[in-house]
Structure formats: C-alpha cells, structure tokens
C-alpha cells in the first residue's frame, strides 16, 4: 500500500497527470483485472491514494516514478553538458 509520505515523493516526480502513463505501463506488461480488461484510471488513483491495494498497479506506479527520475537525471546531465558544467 502506498502511504502518505511515499505519495508526497511520488507526486513531486509524477505530477498530477500520471494515470495515463501508468495505464501504458500496465498495457505494456499485459496486466489486466480479473475480468481480463485493463484497469481504469479511477482504480489507479485509488491505489495511488491508498484507498485500494493492488501490487501490480503499485509496481507500475513505481516503474513510472523510476522512468521519470531517469529522464530528469538525463535532462540535468545534458543541461550541464551544454552549459559546460561537466
């Protein structure tokens, strides 16, 4: 379950429009609900906000967090390289 402290850190990196990207990750990994359909954005938000618990959705959220951190680090590295700070 995602706790309040974790949610703050996740939100700093993911922002408010994260559900579509989490859905993309779930689709990439062919993760579906018990009915065999993709999870909805409301379920993703509920897991993010600690209302529901779902390890597969939590893993997708954490993967998106990791991907975004890597993008941010790469962006900073490129910026520093362009500014001659490397």
* Tokens of residue 71, six digits: 């993008």
Residues 26-73 have pLDDT tens digits of 999 999 999 999 999 999 999 999 999 999 999 999 999 999 999 888
pLDDT of residue 85 exceeding 80, the answer is no
- CA–CA gap between residue 80 and residue 86 (Å, rounded): 6
The per-residue pLDDT for 79 is 80
User: What confidence tier does 86 reach under pLDDT thresholds 50, 70, 90?
Assistant: low
Asked if pLDDT for residue 25 goes beyond 90, the answer is yes
The domain locations on the chain are 4-82
- pLDDT at residue number 77: 83
Q: Which is higher by pLDDT, 82 or 29?
A: 29
How far is CA 26 from its chain centroid?
11
Residue 68: its pLDDT value, please?
95
């Amino acid at each position: 379950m995602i706790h309040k402290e974790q949610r703050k850190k996740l939100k700093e990196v993911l922002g408010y429009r994260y559900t579509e990207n989490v859905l993309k990750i779930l689709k990439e990994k062919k993760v579906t609900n018990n009915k065999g359909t993709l999870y909805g954005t409301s379920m993703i938000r509920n897991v993010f906000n600690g209302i529901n618990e779902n390890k597969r959705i939590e893993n997708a959220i954490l993967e998106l967090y990791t991907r975004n951190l890597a993008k941010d680090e790469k962006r900073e590295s490129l910026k520093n390289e362009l500014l001659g700070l490397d």
